[in-house]
Structure 1
Amino acid sequence: MNKKAGNFKKEPKEFEYEFFGPTGALAVFLLTTVVLFGLYFGCNENGCPAYPQKILSMIYDAKFIDVYSFQLYLCWLGALILAWHVLPGEWVKGTPIDEKGSRLDYKMNGFATASLVLGVTSGFIYMKGPECMELIWSRFLPLMTSAYIVSIFLSIYCYISSFIGQKRLAEGGNSGNIVYDWFIGRLLNPRIGNFDIKVFSELRPGLILWVLLDIAFACRQYVLLNGRITDSMVLVLVFHSWYVLDSLFYENAVLTTMDVTTDGLGYMLCLGNLAWVPFTYGLQARYLSFHPVDLGIPCTIAIIFLQLLGYYIFRGTNSQKNMFRNNPTDPSVKNLKYMETKRGTKLLIDGWYGKSRHINYFGDWLMAWAWCLPVGFGSAIPYFYVAYFAVLLIHRYGRDDHKCHQKYGEDWNKYCQIVKYRIIPYVY
């Protein structure tokens, strides 16, 4: 169903590095590795140590990997790939990949896959009891190591395969420097037949595993508290599951993101999708599994309101953007004001996107606070997500702004004068 793209290798006259070039890429690689494992040892079921000696002792005694956990993770990936092939799903076209307007086809059945996984998990828990999920939560560290190893191998595979045959390359990952191109991603659309590796890994292995880990931690708390789970755990589990299922329900929206249209599949995306998302985004559920927190009705209502507000902004903005791009004559967007560019494309200056250039980021960040606040203030570790996410969104905005300035030139300057705020209206 796919149109075979030709060899689009392009050597830019003056390559512009991101992340401070090869040295910065290497530094980010080391830093993400340290943070990924450091968060686990910084706060876990053995306590939240505040001094280095105890952390070093825990690292020395830890079992980072075992054959069974690695096999379990590979089986997880295999099951998801099988589900992609077997379960029904709509085939949709992505954005144009060349000047001729050629588009790749993508099978969208992520929501069906997640529904199947959650259905099987629920049935397993019903028949065997919550104790059965010890299979997962007790192997958190070796499973995380397994995901980390697979992400490294996948990024190496994509880098090597980018030199074989006719492949479309990501301009930002075609510098000629091995370390940088491996990190940022040299191959834009890694595929095996119709199976798109990047789009598959973007929303499935990490996001669905994130919810599965949350369920395992909720089961552990249920056992720990002799048959109950706290209101805080319920909130975290519902919010995380809601976010994941919503993302998979609107799976085709990922096709217009920078990750898919611009970035190659390198270490940055491989680690983020396979290891970073499931093993750091669920820090709150893991913390609550060994440090239960009872919120009470007033706090619960306030946090739910924050989540709903964030979701309203996040989903409203993304839906409006996608509708404007794909069906500008739809009644919901046809009366919105926009700015014509010399490239022939249109930039929204009305509706949600008349308030700020990336107001969807603001909604996403509000939800991040709703996910973290249920844990209380016993440790700073569960709040890593909200701090990290703020840095990520600001950095992502900077990357997007730079690329848009290159793409639209003076038109982008005019657009920024009309829509003055970057993310938070009247603030930033």
Structure 2
Amino acid sequence: MEKDAAKPAETAAPPSKVHVSDAGKEIDRRLDQHDQYEFGGPFGVLAIMTGFPALMYYLWICLWFYEGQLVRPSSLEDVQPFLARMWAHICEDANPSLYAWKVYGGNVVFQLFLALVVPGFQQEGLPVPSLDYKTLTYNCNALYSLYTTMITAAVLHCTGIFRLTEIIDNFGHLMSVGMIFGVSISFGTYFYAIAAGRQIRMSGNFIYDVFMGAILNPRLGPIDLKMWAEVRVPWVIVFFLSVSGGCKQYEELGYVTPNMAFMILATWLYLNACAKGEECIPQTWDMYHEKWGFMVIFWNFAGVPFSYNYSVVYMARHDPSKYEFSTPRYVFMFATLLAAYYVWDCAMSQKSRFKMQSQGITTFRTAFPQLPGCIVKNPTFIQTAHGNRLLTSGCWAWSRKPNYVADWVMSFCWGAIIGTATPIPYFYSVFFITVLVHRVGRDFERCSAKYGKDWDRYCEVVKYKFIPGVY
């Protein structure tokens, strides 16, 4: 029996399937309409769409050619020559070469092929308001696809057909191809959505709607493209860039530095977690509410893979003496990474599986590693008038976004493994905290509108947004 909505209700598991009330459906209908601009509106998103690619080129050039220093014109007279040098680097060292098209395009095609043919776990997603609360089924085969990819890459490398060291050496060329993919798919998906009449939550401004997206659930046969692109493209590239950096060090130095080994472990943990917990992704905001536009597409195809692991780019280009640590510091770095990973993995699992329980799903896939505490037993929650339930136990008893805190700590570690050799690898954590704070604001505003007084009650129970006792 459910308790008063103002208090968390104790239960061994949510006892029945959640049903959205009529009033809740009306709220969902209003939330599925465009009501205000975000990111500074059309001019703001245009600045992001043009500024981020330029920033990515600039940071890569600084890492690759200028010892990781943030170079700038020495005077007003030097502005034009400086820009000319930047452009020359892009034209010569980051042009979309045939090799880059083969490698990047080949990976995309291979990942699509694996998504089509590899057996997977069939997971039901959350009811989608814009589809009259229909639930979509997702074929979760990322884990088997990942290890098929790893085995294939190892065979190609060991036989000399495709040397993994070449990936990091062609970073700039691959980045340009990734950008072309991101921009092309963003505009192509927008025009498809309009032609097929599948647009949702539109503002009426072309640039803004391309950025935010027009379609919610794009599919290619059985493949949900939004979920596929979130896991199979960015994190696979991030991981293999790290492996490539390790291979390059081994060939040149005869060993792999602890710093590079740290990044290989860190990127594998993240990729493997996304793959082994893929069935949790359909329960997330990304799948349930976020449209598939430039904001998501470009970042998956170019932003994440070519800006999150700048530390690997630096290490592949510079002598280890520039970033060596003491043994205690290495121990601290690895321990911090693993602790943050544990909290992040458990928090994500607890929330997603609680949502599954609320749908009446009680059988969960198990894949390595299943961490202690990844499923909350006897969860407490607030039953809302809308019909949804808000989890108030496990990691979620201490913070409204414990997963974000742990995720950010990992991102900071990805930069800190370089120490103070260059500030550029910290871009990931600085950018990430900006995105998370903005996203939390969007999320909490939407939750307040959706749940009303029940959200206020939830905030009384779970007082802190991020760090318990601090904020």
Q: Which TM-score applies when normalising by structure 2?
A: 0.83
Q: Which amino acid aligns with 2:283?
A: T
Which among 390, 400, 404 is matched to residue 361 of structure 1?
404
3-state SS of paired residue (1:163): helix
Tell me which of 232, 237, 248 is aligned to 2:275. 248
Equivalent residue number for residue 186 of structure 1: 214
Q: Is the 8 A contact 2:182 2:297 kept in 1?
A: yes
Corresponding residue number in structure 1 for 2:449: 406
User: For the residues of structure 1 that align with 2:391 and 2:455, how far apart are their CA atoms?
Assistant: 12
Counterpart residue type for residue 410 of structure 2? M
Residue number in structure 2 paired with 1:285: 312
Q: Aligned AA for 2:99?
A: Y
What is the CA–CA distance in structure 1 between the aligned matches of 2:456 and 2:301, rounded to whole Å? 37
Give the superposition deviation at 1:268: 0.5
Q: Which residue of 1 aligns with 2:240?
A: 212
SS in 2 for 1:44: helix
Range with greater deviation from structure 2 (328-337 or 68-77): 328-337
**Bigger shift: residues 29-38 or 182-191:** 29-38
Partner of residue 347, structure 1: 390
Residues 91 and 60 from structure 1, CA distance in 2 versus in 1: closer, same or farther, beyond 3 angstroms?
same
- 2:11 matched to which residue of 1? none
Asked if 1:378 corresponds to 2:421, the answer is yes
Relative to structure 1, the CA distance from residue 304 to residue 155 in structure 2 (aligned partners, 3 Å threshold; closer, same or farther) is: same
Match of 1:299 among 316, 329, 333: 329
Measure how far apart 1:21 and its partner are.
1.3
Among candidates 174, 182, 185, match of residue 143 of structure 1: 174
Matched, 1:427 2:470: yes
Q: Is the 8 A contact 1:365 1:389 kept in 2?
A: yes
Deviation, structure 1 residue 303? 0.7
* Superposition deviation, residue 43 in structure 1: 1.2
257-266 or 50-59, which moves further after superposition?
50-59
The answer on whether the counterparts of 2:61 and 2:89 sit within 8 Å (CA) in structure 1 is no
Amino acid at match of 2:312: A
Structure 1 residue 52: Cα displacement: 2.2
Aligned equivalent of 1:265: 292
Distance 1:125 1:14 in 2: 49
The partner residue of 1:338 within 370, 378, 381 is: 381
Q: Give the Å deviation of 1:66.
A: 2.0
2:147 to 109, 115, 135: 115
Q: Which of 105, 113, 126 is equivalent to 2:158?
A: 126
| 1:37 matched to 2:57 | yes
Contact 1:309 1:366 in 2 (8 A): no
SS of the equivalent of 2:465 reads coil
1:66 and 1:121 mapped to 2: Cα distance? 21
TM-score normalised by structure 1 residue count: 0.91
> What SS does the corresponding residue of 1:305 show, helix, strand or coil?
helix
Contact 1:221/1:290 (8 A) holds in 2 = no
Seen in structure 2, the aligned counterparts of structure 1 residues 58 and 218 have a Cα distance that, compared at 3 Å, is: farther
Segment drifting more, 406-415 vs 229-238: 406-415
Bigger mean CA offset, 65-74 vs 22-31:
65-74
Bigger Cα displacement from structure 2, 103-112 vs 29-38: 29-38
1:139, CA displacement in angstroms?
1.4
The CA distance in 2 between the partners of 1:422 and 1:314, in whole Å, is: 15
Counterparts of 1:4-23 in structure 2 under 5 Å? 15-23=35-43
Structure 1 stretch 320-329 or stretch 299-308: which is displaced more?
Answer: 320-329
SS in 2 for 1:265: coil
Aligned 8 A contact 2:62 2:71 in 1: no
Q: Which residue of 1 aligns with 2:5?
A: none
Aligned to 2:44: 24
Structure 2 residues without counterparts, runs of 5 or longer = 1-27, 74-81, 363-372
Q: Per-residue CA shift, 1:146-168, capped at 9, x if unaligned?
A: 1101111111111111122342x
Change in Cα spacing, 1:19 to 1:58, as seen in structure 2 (3 Å) is: closer
Summarize the Cα distance change of 1:427–1:407 in structure 2 as closer, same or farther, 3 Å threshold: same
Closer/same/farther in 2, CA of residues 14 and 305 from structure 1, 3 Å limit:
closer
Is the Cα–Cα contact under 8 Å of residues 341 and 406 in structure 2 kept in the other structure?
yes
1:51, CA displacement in angstroms?
3.0
1:122, distance to aligned residue in structure 2 (A):
2.0
Deviation of residue 189 (structure 1)? 1.0
Tell me by how many angstroms 1:238 deviates: 0.8
**Deviation digits for residues 279-328 of structure 1, max 9, x if unmatched?**
11111111111222332321111011111221121112111112211125
The C-alpha deviation readout for 1:129-154, integer Å capped at 9, x for no partner, is 9x922432221111111110111111
Residues 104 and 336 (structure 1), Cα distance of their counterparts in 2 relative to 1, 3 Å cut: closer
Against the structure 1 CA distance between its residues 116 and 49, is the aligned structure 2 distance closer, same or farther, given a 3 Å change threshold? Answer: same
- Number of residue pairs the alignment of both structures matches: 416
The answer for unaligned runs of 5 or more in structure 1 is: 1-7
* Partner secondary structure for residue 338 of structure 1: strand
Letter in 2 for 1:101: Y
Q: Partner letter of residue 160 of structure 2?
A: K
**1:239 and 2:282 are equivalent in the alignment:** no
Higher relative contact order (CA 8 A, sep 6+): 2
Quote the Cα distance in structure 2 between the aligned partners of 1:13 and 1:195: 26
Q: Residue in 2 aligned with 1:101?
A: 133
